[in-house]
Amino acid sequence: MTEMLLKYFRDKQQQVQSKKVYDTQCPYCSMQCKMQLIEQTVITRKKYTTIGKDNPTSHGRLCMKGMNAHQHALHKDRITQPLLKVNGEFTPITWDKALEIIKKNFSAIQLENGHDALAVYGSASITNEEAYLLGKFARVALQTKHIDYNGRLCMSAAASAASQTFGMDRGLTNSLSEIPNAECIILAGTNIAACQPTMLPYFEEAKENGAFIIVIDPRETDTAKMADLHLKIKPGTDAALANGLLKVIMEKGYTDERFIKERATGFEEVEEHISSLSLKEISELTGVSIRQIQRAATIFAEKKTGMIFTARGVEQQTDGSLAVRNLLNILISTGKVGKPSCGYGAITGQGNGQGAREHGQKADQLPGYRSIENEEHREQIARVWGIDKEQLPQKGVSAYEMIERMEKGEITGLFLMCSNPIVSNPNANFVKEALRKLKFFVAVDLFISETAKLADLVLPAASYLEDEGTMTNLEGRVTLREASYPVPGEAKRDWQIICEVAHALGKGEYFNFSSAEEIFNELRAASRGGAADYYGITYERIREEDGVLWPCPTSNHKGTERLFERTFAHPDGKAKMVAVPNSPLIPKEQPCERFPLYLTTGRVTSHYLTGVQTRKSAALAARNFESFMEIHPAAAQKFGIQDQELVEVTSKRGSIIVRCRWSAAIRQDTIFIPFHWADSQNVNRLVSEELDPHCKMPGFKVSTVNIRPLMALR
Ligand code: SF4
């Protein structure tokens, strides 16, 4: 064999053996499963596989979304250059040109309409560093009060409830490792099996250990299938059901008097309120029998340990924050918090749903969970940022309220980061029209999403594989997502984009960062002494300890596994109980002749949020390539609708078309539609704009609708 041939075969062999491993974390839910992308080159073709990596939260498990996440990151439709809309078409331009256009337009808007005419709309999918920097960008670079984020539509009710009851909002009061030893678990409005599949084994282990599991949900989901008792509640009545459970607990003398006396305030008011309520009325209101309410309350109270978990089913309602507070009333009344395997968990939806709500992306918030209305807090953050506290804008308004201001012409410019508000907000037709009125709109994204299509300028962002930073998972564990995969084309990391825009606007001195770690170190200092104190956490520690649970105020503090063991976080150290009415201040829609069915919305296992990423993944899209309406066969027959038939669903606000799926798992007065699709399948076109007055969460989970077969329209 000639030397040339030998070299040829040697080279080929090397190509076959070429293998690269990239450490990362799943970009989707709040479990933030650690994983590795393995890239193998076989001759000239690249093959990709994702495997789980051991860690204290998911223990190496992955669900189908994580296993296929690379498909969207490596998708040919990724934006890799800034795109400017010219005559209705996107045209590639240079970064220099893009920054010049932003400077020109943002300056003109602020000159003409004032600083608050610009808004920033953030995301709970970005890293802590980027969420922190975006808050600073709005207040320091743009000097606008208008910043809020898509987590407002996701976590605001649970966050508000925990802050008001406990004085602090960390999603889980205990680490996940305490679940298997809980003797009774209430899962309220949470479909873990579909939304956080790698969390399910904790509950399965608890069940194997003999735990009694109570599920509260209008549908018999895969999660409800493991329940010992399923309370198939009427949508929107969770607050009333909690009153029923409290009534049984109080009347049967199951309250923990000592715990209440030493550790809570407000019990007497709650007790008086509960005594005025009728269990029969609660049963009629909720659709849950008196016997089931009594059984659930008795078992939860009698067990030595117990935990309550909530998610969007309870929270995404116009009284979601109070409904959660009422469930927390149960924990406090029975003394089941601050002890092993006793506590509360708000199961976060988005990947960084926890961290992204702590460091300043919210309209009323500064880093470390500080309040923008508190003079002392303003002073502390202004000092870290090197500005005068008077320069800090005041409190803005929530995500949907910013959109209302766009519609009114009060906000005329928008900087949108990694979010798809025309699909995710309620009253979606209105939202689209509001965004169309903007004078200048910049979107930062991986793809031309439904919302980015409306932008004047789209900036290409880095994906989870390419962007390093910390993510705080549902436990409150600060994890480090490593990233070594090359950023495609001219795309940039979100934090780099923020810094470059700030420099272009002449505020570069406040945004001189050359790595995510540098930003994290400033975030640590800004959070120091705040409720969400990250000061003792460093990249080095996270790497060594596989994540650190906040609060962690000093470098020798080991992080906090369990909250509230001795005191709650209010200044008096006590939890605050509150009396919650059965029905909310803002009445929810009730079935009527014109709109006879409840509509509730949620997720399916193969998709995430508005589907911008998962709809690009062939393996995930194939599992559910279109939206659907789940309906009880008896209800479907009443409306003359066959299984698998196309149906028009109409509410006061609009119509969509989806395929019908018969299922005996849902209540006969309710239909379910997932929210991962856009345009004529966007269920949020049907949802009301009413907001929870306490936390501004829209009432996604309760609307009323009419349905008819599409054939009938012809
Ligand atoms: Fe883990 Fe959630 Fe990703 Fe599934 S979607 S792999 S549970 S982080």
Q: Which DSSP state fits 555?
A: T
For residue 32 and ligand 1, the question of a CB distance below 6 A is answered with yes
Atom of ligand 1 nearest to the CA of 67: 6
- On whether the CB atoms of residues 267 and 215 are closer than 8 A, the answer is no
Place of tokens 């300056």: 107
277-304 average pLDDT score: 97
- On whether the CB atoms of residues 218 and 234 are closer than 8 A, the answer is yes
Q: Which DSSP state fits 326?
A: H
Q: What is the Å distance from ligand 1's center to 611 Cα? A: 15
Which parts of 204-342 are beta strand (E)?
212-216, 229-231, 264-265, 306-310
**Exposed, middle or buried by CB within 10 Å (0-12, 13-18, 19+), for 572?**
exposed
> Ligand 1 pocket check: which of 25, 28, 477 to mutate, most ligand atoms within 8 Å of Cβ?
28
For Cα atoms 269, 275, 280, give the angle at the middle one, nearest 5 degrees.
140
Q: What is the Å distance from ligand 1's center to 481 Cα? A: 14
**Angstrom distances, CA of residue 392 to CA of 55, 146, 149:** 40, 12, 19
For residue 58 and ligand 1, the question of a CB distance below 6 A is answered with yes
Q: What is the Å distance from ligand 1's center to 61 Cα? A: 8
Q: What does the alpha-carbon distance between residue 641 and residue 621 come to, in Å, rounded to a whole number?
A: 26
For residue 29 and ligand 1, the question of a CB distance below 6 A is answered with yes
Helix, strand, or coil (residue 73): helix
Is it the case that residue 697 has pLDDT exceeding 90? no
Strand order across the beta sheet in which 548-549 lies: 469-472, 477-481, 548-549
- On whether the CB atoms of residues 137 and 502 are closer than 8 A, the answer is yes
Q: What is the Å distance from ligand 1's center to 195 Cα? A: 8
Is it the case that residue 449 has pLDDT exceeding 60? yes
CA 315 to chain centre: 11
Q: What is the pTM of this model?
A: 0.94
Is it the case that residue 548 has pLDDT exceeding 90? yes
Atom of ligand 1 nearest to the CA of 58: 1
Q: What does the alpha-carbon distance between residue 337 and residue 160 come to, in Å, rounded to a whole number?
A: 18
Helix, strand, or coil (residue 85): strand
CA 201 to chain centre: 21
pLDDT reported for residue 588? 86
Angle between helices 238-251 and 320-333 (to 10 degrees): 20
For residue 28 and ligand 1, the question of a CB distance below 6 A is answered with yes
Q: Which residues contact 469 (CB under 8 A, 6 or more apart)?
A: 126, 127, 128, 129, 130, 480, 481, 483, 495, 516, 519, 520
Q: What is the Å distance from ligand 1's center to 473 Cα? A: 11
Residue nearest ligand 1's atom 4 by CA: 63
pLDDT reported for residue 606? 84
Q: What does the alpha-carbon distance between residue 611 and residue 450 come to, in Å, rounded to a whole number?
A: 10
Q: Which two tokens stand for residue 222?
A: 């895969």
pLDDT reported for residue 683? 94
Q: What is the Å distance from ligand 1's center to 479 Cα? A: 14
For residue 196 and ligand 1, the question of a CB distance below 6 A is answered with yes
Helix, strand, or coil (residue 554): coil
Residue nearest ligand 1's atom 2 by CA: 29
Strand order across the beta sheet in which 457-460 lies: 89-92, 83-86, 457-460, 440-445, 413-417, 118-122, 147-149
Q: Which residues are bridge partners to 524 per DSSP?
A: none
Q: Which two tokens stand for residue 497?
A: 């984009």
Number of neighbouring beta carbons within 10 Å of residue 437: 13
Q: What does the alpha-carbon distance between residue 18 and residue 30 come to, in Å, rounded to a whole number?
A: 33
Highest-scoring range by mean pLDDT, 36-45, 497-506, 667-676: 497-506
pLDDT reported for residue 1? 56
CA 629 to chain centre: 23
- On whether the CB atoms of residues 673 and 658 are closer than 8 A, the answer is yes
- On whether the CB atoms of residues 480 and 474 are closer than 8 A, the answer is no
Q: Which DSSP state fits 329?
A: H
For residue 62 and ligand 1, the question of a CB distance below 6 A is answered with yes
**Angstrom distances, CA of residue 545 to CA of 171, 287, 351, 539, 600:** 21, 47, 20, 10, 41
Q: Which two tokens stand for residue 291?
A: 């016997």
Is it the case that residue 614 has pLDDT exceeding 90? no
Q: What is the Å distance from ligand 1's center to 24 Cα? A: 12
Q: What is the Å distance from ligand 1's center to 285 Cα? A: 36
> Ligand 1 pocket check: which of 196, 471, 475, 613 to mutate, most ligand atoms within 8 Å of Cβ?
196
- On whether the CB atoms of residues 325 and 161 are closer than 8 A, the answer is yes
> Ligand 1 pocket check: which of 29, 50, 199 to mutate, most ligand atoms within 8 Å of Cβ?
29
**Exposed, middle or buried by CB within 10 Å (0-12, 13-18, 19+), for 284?**
middle
Q: Which two tokens stand for residue 472?
A: 């705080």
Q: What is the Å distance from ligand 1's center to 236 Cα? A: 28
> Ligand 1 pocket check: which of 67, 198, 464, 623 to mutate, most ligand atoms within 8 Å of Cβ?
198
Number of neighbouring beta carbons within 10 Å of residue 168: 18
Residue 713 gets the label, from left (phi > 0), alpha (psi -120 to 50) or beta, of alpha
**Angstrom distances, CA of residue 355 to CA of 130, 360, 361, 382, 697:** 10, 10, 10, 21, 18
Q: What does the alpha-carbon distance between residue 629 and residue 662 come to, in Å, rounded to a whole number?
A: 8
Helix, strand, or coil (residue 444): strand
For residue 474 and ligand 1, the question of a CB distance below 6 A is answered with no
Q: What is the Å distance from ligand 1's center to 541 Cα? A: 24
Local confidence band at 456 (pLDDT 50, 70, 90 cut-offs): very high
> Ligand 1 pocket check: which of 24, 25, 26, 35 to mutate, most ligand atoms within 8 Å of Cβ?
26
Residue nearest ligand 1's atom 1 by CA: 33
pLDDT in tens, 130-188: 999 999 999 999 999 999 998 888 888 999 999 999 999 999 999 999 999 999 999 99
For residue 65 and ligand 1, the question of a CB distance below 6 A is answered with yes
Residue nearest ligand 1's atom 6 by CA: 66
Q: What is the Å distance from ligand 1's center to 120 Cα? A: 28
Atom of ligand 1 nearest to the CA of 27: 3
Number of neighbouring beta carbons within 10 Å of residue 451: 26
pLDDT reported for residue 714? 53
- Asked if omega into 488 is within 30° of 0 (cis), the reply is no
Is it the case that residue 376 has pLDDT exceeding 70? yes
> Ligand 1 pocket check: which of 34, 36, 53, 63 to mutate, most ligand atoms within 8 Å of Cβ?
63
Q: Which two tokens stand for residue 678?
A: 């856009």
Write the single-letter amino acid at 166: F
- On whether the CB atoms of residues 653 and 699 are closer than 8 A, the answer is no
> Ligand 1 pocket check: which of 35, 65, 200 to mutate, most ligand atoms within 8 Å of Cβ?
65
Please give the share of the chain, as a percent, with pLDDT higher than 70.
Answer: 98
Number of neighbouring beta carbons within 10 Å of residue 334: 25
Q: Which two tokens stand for residue 80?
A: 């890799």
192-206 average pLDDT score: 95
Q: Which DSSP state fits 2?
A: -
Atom of ligand 1 nearest to the CA of 608: 5
Q: What is the Å distance from ligand 1's center to 55 Cα? A: 13
- On whether the CB atoms of residues 402 and 396 are closer than 8 A, the answer is yes
User: What mean pLDDT value characterizes the chain?
Assistant: 94
For residue 31 and ligand 1, the question of a CB distance below 6 A is answered with yes
Place of tokens 């974390």: 25
pLDDT reported for residue 7? 77
Local confidence band at 442 (pLDDT 50, 70, 90 cut-offs): very high
pLDDT reported for residue 15? 60
Q: What is the Å distance from ligand 1's center to 58 Cα? A: 9
Q: Pairing between strand 597-602 and 670-674?
A: parallel
Atom of ligand 1 nearest to the CA of 32: 8
Q: What does the alpha-carbon distance between residue 220 and residue 663 come to, in Å, rounded to a whole number?
A: 10
Please give the share of the chain, as a percent, with pLDDT higher than 90.
Answer: 84
Q: What is the Å distance from ligand 1's center to 63 Cα? A: 5
Q: What does the alpha-carbon distance between residue 152 and residue 678 come to, in Å, rounded to a whole number?
A: 20
For residue 66 and ligand 1, the question of a CB distance below 6 A is answered with yes
Q: What does the alpha-carbon distance between residue 341 and residue 177 come to, in Å, rounded to a whole number?
A: 9
Atom of ligand 1 nearest to the CA of 62: 6
Atom of ligand 1 nearest to the CA of 198: 7
Q: What is the Å distance from ligand 1's center to 66 Cα? A: 5
Sign (positive or negative) of CA dihedral 539, 417, 496, 360? negative
pLDDT reported for residue 520? 98
511-540 average pLDDT score: 97
Helix, strand, or coil (residue 636): helix
Q: Which residues are bridge partners to 47 per DSSP?
A: 40
Q: What is the Å distance from ligand 1's center to 64 Cα? A: 8
655-662 average pLDDT score: 96
How large is the greatest C-alpha to C-alpha distance in the chain, in angstroms?
97
CA 14 to chain centre: 44
Q: What is the Å distance from ligand 1's center to 411 Cα? A: 36
Is it the case that residue 451 has pLDDT exceeding 90? yes
Q: What is the Å distance from ligand 1's center to 534 Cα? A: 24
352-378 average pLDDT score: 94
Q: Which two tokens stand for residue 297?
A: 């309350």
pLDDT in tens, 1-56: 577 777 777 776 666 568 899 999 999 999 999 999 999 988 778 899 999 999 99
- On whether the CB atoms of residues 548 and 541 are closer than 8 A, the answer is yes
Atom of ligand 1 nearest to the CA of 35: 6
